[in-house]
Structure 1
Amino acid sequence: MSFRSWAIHILIVALFGTLILLGNTKGDASFDENYNVNWGNDHVLSLNQGREVRLLLDQYSGAGFISKSFFGSGFYKMKIKLLANDSGGLVTSFYLYLNENGVHDELDFEFLGNRPGKPIVLQTNVFTNGVGGREQRYFLWFDPTTDFHYYSILWNHYQIVFFVDDIPIRVFKKTQGVGYLNNTMQVVVSLWDGSDWATDGGRVKADFNNGPFEAYFQDFNINGCVSSKINVHCLAQDYWWNLKRYWILNSKQQRAYEHVKETYMIYDYCKNGLPTNLECH
């Protein structure tokens, strides 16, 4: 299987402001309840009474949407299905992101576009206080173009965990001497041409003769502490993701995590040039 170069970016953007006193978003939310289209309106299609959205990329534009609220901690997830194509490279990213007042924080999933005939590579990365270069890459144990799968980030005051479906693939612990995310976030999704960096080597440019390119999204519920600034409320154990049992992986999760690292990880920044040893466990 192979792909042409394009990119889906799912961002959780950190912004500052006054506290918004709202509760969690629950239930089977439609797209319009929690998100607004923020660019490429004519490239966004609502399906199944707003329970599914298709983003389209062609030579003219991509598209994106953004959450209506800001969040200070939570469990952020979305079901994603990539559209198979018959040549080129692909990127998909899922971010926790801040770039304000000289501060850059970011957590992201990225599906890296590969040379034709190569499998999709899933990359995760972490930026804290402007320090990045923390890439880890994996071959997935399934084809992300044949069905929807969950891509999720758990964020509390003790750890950040990346999940594929219910399997933890990466853990970033709060560690003394290492920057951590302490800013509120928005969920942002976009689909755009990633030709300049989408292919894992080879740098295959997007060929829109094979397009347009599409990605599909489901589950627009957001489990998060709704707030426009980090505060004690968002760290409280009133929210399930802040409970003590979510400060570390349980034994079953730890075994699954170790299996992913041993079996599917193909690149680890901890073994290939790291800013500091403190964060590698």
Structure 2
Amino acid sequence: MASSSYYGFRFLLCLSLLLGFNTIVLGGNFNTLFDNLFGEERVDIRDDGNSMTLTLDEYCGSGIVSKNEYLYGRFDMKVKLVPGNSAGTVTAYYLSSVGAKHDEIDIEFLGNLTGDPYLLSTNVYADGNGGREVQFYLWFDPTEDYHTYSIDWNPDRIIILVDDIPIRVMLNRQSIGVPFPTKRPMRVYTTLWNGDSWATRWGEVKIDLSNAPFVAGFKNFKANACIANQGQIENCKGFNGGKNRGLDTESKRNMKKILSKWVVYDYCADLRRYAHGLPYECRKENLLQFE
């Protein structure tokens, strides 16, 4: 039987490893974890900071931004989208750094006319380079109830999840010259705004402000992430690591079903945009393998 001193040593070792990362596990308080970004009173934080609504009216939208910067982690948010005629509205939940060569990981919900589905648009920027859009229709009505949308980011890959089902994986392919966000800490942003110049049918359908105010709900924000304020990134480099972390056989099987039925647009399949050849990272050997 192992001695108590052995277990004490193991405990101290685990504790020291945890403290090696400047980590934080967040329970979702919008009052303490976020600042108002724009919209002032249109940001309505409730339930002792555990839930929030954002409003877009005829004058302005609204949004919040995290107080901390993070380098790697998993970020979860429950969202209930604007019901009815939401054409032209953009509800966004994303990570972003600042500057011309910024990094960004996007989840954006593009509103639509009543009866037509929302478009869930994902994109990744690294070193200021974007253009990696993959868009989906959802297999449920996102305005009827809250659903969990997640960004899981580590040095090896980015996973976008809906209700814990992965819908997109982007692998780190810096080895073949593809930019990947590994150097810049990012803040968490949640916004609701008028994007009718492009959001619905590429700007063909404009927002109908007679339907304002538009309101989206948010709750249960959680993050298991590495804080990297003031650029302190050294302790974050291995956080949440592993190419297949969170991608077991069942999750890959579920993801394969989503990709077969619900993808609306994939930049890696856009032969019109890339008439002279798809981006190098779109080759089969550079994509996630399901078998």
State the TM-score, normalizing by the size of structure 1.
Answer: 0.83
Instruction: Trace 1:239-258 onto structure 2 (pairs within 5 A).
Output: 239=239, 241-242=240-241, 246=245, 249-258=247-256
Instruction: Trace 1:229-244 onto structure 2 (pairs within 5 A).
Output: 229=231, 231-236=233-238, 239=239, 241-242=240-241
- Residue 159 of structure 1 corresponds to 157
RMSD between aligned residues: 2.1
The range that moved more, 158-167 or 105-114, is: 105-114
CA shift in 2, pair 1:122/1:87, >3 Å: closer
- Residue 141 of structure 2 corresponds to 143
Letter in 1 for 2:181: L
CA shift in 2, pair 1:89/1:41, >3 Å: closer
Cα deviation digits, residues 150-198 of structure 1 (max 9, x gap): 1111111100000011010101101122101021011111211111112
- Residue 277 of structure 1 corresponds to 280
How big is the shift at 1:243? 5.3
- Residue 204 of structure 1 corresponds to 205
- Residue 174 of structure 1 corresponds to 172
Letter in 2 for 1:75: R
Q: Measure the CA separation in 2 of the matches of 1:22 and 1:233.
A: 7
CA shift in 2, pair 1:29/1:113, >3 Å: closer
CA contact (8 A) 2:28 2:219 kept: no
- Residue 25 of structure 2 corresponds to 25
Structure ID, larger Rg: 2
Count of equivalent residues: 255
- Residue 105 of structure 1 corresponds to 103
CA shift in 2, pair 1:71/1:62, >3 Å: same
CA shift in 2, pair 1:94/1:29, >3 Å: closer
- Residue 185 of structure 2 corresponds to 184
State the TM-score, normalizing by the size of structure 2.
Answer: 0.81
What SS does structure 1 have at the residue aligned with 2:44? strand
What SS does structure 2 have at the residue aligned with 1:46? strand
Letter in 1 for 2:279: T
Letter in 1 for 2:91: T
- Residue 44 of structure 2 corresponds to 45
What SS does structure 2 have at the residue aligned with 1:222? strand
Cα deviation digits, residues 47-98 of structure 1 (max 9, x gap): 2222110111111121111111111110012111012124634422222223
CA shift in 2, pair 1:244/1:203, >3 Å: closer
CA contact (8 A) 1:64 1:188 kept: yes
Cα deviation digits, residues 197-245 of structure 1 (max 9, x gap): 1212462222221110011110133221011226331123xx5x32575
CA contact (8 A) 2:37 2:63 kept: yes
Q: Measure the CA separation in 2 of the matches of 1:211 and 1:128.
A: 35
Q: Measure the CA separation in 1 of the matches of 2:124 and 2:114.
A: 28
2:62 pairs with 1:58: no
Which runs of 5 or more structure 2 residues have no equivalent in the other structure? 1-20
Q: Measure the CA separation in 2 of the matches of 1:72 and 1:146.
A: 33
Which runs of 5 or more structure 1 residues have no equivalent in the other structure? 1-20
Q: Measure the CA separation in 2 of the matches of 1:159 and 1:39.
A: 31
What SS does structure 1 have at the residue aligned with 2:102? strand
What SS does structure 2 have at the residue aligned with 1:220? strand
CA contact (8 A) 1:115 1:200 kept: no
Identity, % of aligned positions: 37
Q: Measure the CA separation in 1 of the matches of 2:171 and 2:261.
A: 22
CA shift in 2, pair 1:99/1:117, >3 Å: same
- Residue 18 of structure 2 corresponds to none
What SS does structure 2 have at the residue aligned with 1:256? helix
